């Protein structure tokens, strides 16, 4: 047991003691006082816990505390009307307080579901709406209408009798949605669930006693007391703060979500079938089932549209990842090959110039060995960011592989291309240097041959001392025949070239 959790357990023990005293004195005059003391202690615990919550989760627990307070107000009014004023507490103003507590509790549970699925609120709300509609339809046919019919002759009594089970169905649907959303299994979560379940069981017992026209037994009031205490205990327990943390998406929970939604979809036709076996089913039940079925169909369509939209977003993200290098964010080799082919085709049709440059970090393996790969990654990220700023709007930059990069420079003169590349050479970070090979397309050779000539110029720059730009000899007639034969980057990795490992 954590030391910080001890006050919560002490408070729970005190509340259980009040429950035991009430159970032994339920039939005595002081029984009502003990009941109200237990209810008030649970409500006070919930208020204390809500005041200690982080700002982002405080509204959840204040809503639950408001539900507790309204239910307590209903209990106080019920006791006053029955024991002090000698009147009939049902239906009365006490029922207004009782019924007002359910929306507050439902709001707290709904906010808890939404905050657990932060970033996926639309999906969570649609799932909750589908499940709630299905359960409300079945609840109306099998519980609400029979309860309303047993409420008495007046319209008010029928409305009040039917409102309680309708509110219970709403709480039950949200409780199930908590599990679908991925409830964090800790002391506070199980206490909160236990408190809501105790309330629902007590309400069910009360409805059953109303349907059978018998006085409700003492265990029903104990159920209400347990609900007060468990929700209050959940609020003050330290683990309550973890309930407001977003939950990650897990495949097992996705399967559970599909199972629950599938059950919700078949619940309405099952309800219609079962109700159809009863000859006493009236017109209202049929109308509710029709309306519920139509609403569920609409919600399912919206949910499918939401799923399709999510898949489209994921497809765009995956496509972007497939085109980009993970470390630098530049275009990768696959994207480079596509862009090179496209730009060559455009330059051939329009008769414009096109230059290709291959850039390679000097002695980068040595740098990694001396400073570590983490520092090497920093050099690559910082340098490529500077390069991207220089090339933006003027060319296309890609990571060709390892510490080798390529640049497309369309529609500019050779002098302008050399000036830009010299800026890039001087932009290398952390006192590193790079060598650059440059080639101009002759509109006849293949893109692969063009890259090969640029790589051959890079090889020459490495051999001449590095940290320089070398233009392919075939692009400068005065140097024709003096350059080494061009080769493809695929034929020899940069770190394997003799010129790159020279001091």
pTM of the predicted model as reported, rounded to 2 decimal places: 0.55
Is 483 or 332 the better-scoring residue by pLDDT?
332
What are the boundaries of each domain within the chain?
3-244+253-319, 333-501
320 CB burial (10 A radius; 0-12, 13-18, 19+): exposed
pLDDT digits (tens, 9 = 90+) for 234-259: 999 998 888 877 655 444 456 666 67
Local confidence band at 492 (pLDDT 50, 70, 90 cut-offs): very low
Specify the pLDDT at position 482. Answer: 38
Distance between CA 31 and CA 46 in Å, rounded? Answer: 23
Residues 6+ apart with CB under 8 A from 444: none
Task: Evaluate if residue 99 carries a pLDDT over 60.
Answer: yes
Is 341 or 272 the better-scoring residue by pLDDT?
341
Instruction: Provide the residue count of the chain.
Output: 503
Which of 150-164, 328-342, 370-384, 409-423 has the lowest average pLDDT?
Answer: 150-164
Q: What is the mean pLDDT of the chain?
A: 80
pLDDT digits (tens, 9 = 90+) for 123-175: 666 776 777 777 667 666 666 566 555 555 565 666 666 677 778 877 887 78
Kindly report the backbone phi and psi dihedral angles of residue 350, in degrees, each rounded to the nearest multiple of 5, phi listed first: -95, -10
Measuring CA to CA, how many Å separate 485 from each of 175, 346, 456, 478, 482?
74, 28, 7, 16, 9
Distance between CA 174 and CA 113 in Å, rounded? Answer: 8
DSSP sequence for 375-425: HHHHHHHHHHHHHHHHHTTT-EEEEEETTEEEEEEES--HHHHHHHHHHHH
CATH number for the segment(s) 333-501 = 3.30.70.270
Task: Evaluate if residue 353 carries a pLDDT over 50.
Answer: yes
pLDDT digits (tens, 9 = 90+) for 294-339: 877 887 888 788 778 878 877 776 766 677 888 898 999 888 998 8
Closest CA to 113 of 171, 67, 71: 171
At 87, list the tokens: 């009147």
């Amino acid at each position: 047991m954590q030391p910080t959790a001890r006050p919560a357990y002490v408070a729970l023990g005190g509340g259980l003691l009040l429950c035991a005293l009430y159970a032994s004195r339920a039939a005595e005059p002081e029984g009502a006082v003990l009941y109200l003391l237990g209810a008030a202690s649970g409500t006070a615990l919930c208020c204390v816990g809500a005041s200690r919550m982080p700002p982002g989760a405080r509204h959840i627990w204040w809503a639950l505390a408001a539900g507790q307070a309204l239910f307590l107000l209903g209990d106080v009014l019920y006791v006053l009307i029955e024991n002090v004023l000698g009147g009939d507490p049902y239906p009365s103003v006490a029922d207004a307080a009782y019924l007002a507590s359910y929306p507050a509790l439902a709001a707290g549970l709904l906010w808890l579901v939404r905050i657990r699925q932060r970033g996926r609120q639309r999906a969570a709300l649609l799932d909750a709406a589908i499940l709630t509609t299905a359960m409300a339809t079945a609840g109306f046919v099998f519980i609400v209408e029979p309860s309303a019919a047993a409420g008495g002759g007046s319209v008010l009594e029928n409305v009040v009798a039917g409102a309680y089970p309708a509110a219970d169905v709403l709480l039950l649907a949200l409780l199930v949605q908590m599990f679908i959303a991925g409830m964090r299994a800790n002391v506070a979560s199980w206490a909160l669930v236990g408190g809501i379940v105790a309330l629902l069981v007590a309400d069910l017992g009360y409805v059953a006693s109303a349907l059978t026209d018998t006085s409700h037994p003492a265990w029903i009031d104990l159920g209400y007391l347990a609900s007060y205490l468990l929700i209050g205990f959940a609020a003050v327990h330290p683990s309550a703060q973890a309930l407001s943390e977003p939950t990650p998406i897990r495949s097992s929970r996705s399967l559970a979500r599909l199972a629950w939604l599938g059950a919700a979809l078949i619940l309405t036709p099952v309800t219609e079938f079962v109700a159809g076996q009863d000859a006493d089913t009236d017109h209202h039940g049929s109308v509710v089932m029709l309306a519920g079925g139509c609403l569920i169909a609409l919600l399912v369509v919206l949910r499918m549209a939401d799923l399709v939209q999510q898949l489209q977003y994921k497809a765009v993200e995956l496509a972007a990842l497939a085109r980009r290098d993970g470390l630098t964010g530049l275009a990768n080799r696959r994207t480079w090959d596509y862009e090179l082919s496209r730009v060559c085709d455009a330059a051939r049709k329009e008769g414009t110039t096109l230059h290709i440059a291959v850039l390679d970090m000097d002695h980068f393996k040595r740098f990694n060995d001396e400073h570590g790969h983490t520092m090497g990654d920093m050099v690559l990220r910082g340098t490529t960011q500077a390069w991207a700023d220089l090339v933006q709007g003027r060319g296309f930059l890609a990571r060709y592989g390892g510490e080798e990069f390529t640049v497309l420079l369309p529609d500019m003169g050779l002098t302008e291309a050399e000036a830009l590349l010299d800026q890039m050479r001087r932009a290398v970070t952390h006192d590193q240097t790079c060598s650059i090979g440059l080639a101009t397309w002759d509109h006849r050779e293949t893109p692969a041959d063009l890259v090969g000539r640029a790589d051959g110029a890079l090889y020459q720059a490495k051999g001449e001392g590095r940290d320089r730009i070398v233009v392919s000899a075939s692009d400068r007639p005065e140097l024709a025949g003096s350059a080494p034969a061009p080769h493809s980057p695929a034929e020899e990795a940069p770190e394997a070239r003799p010129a790159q490992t020279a001091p």
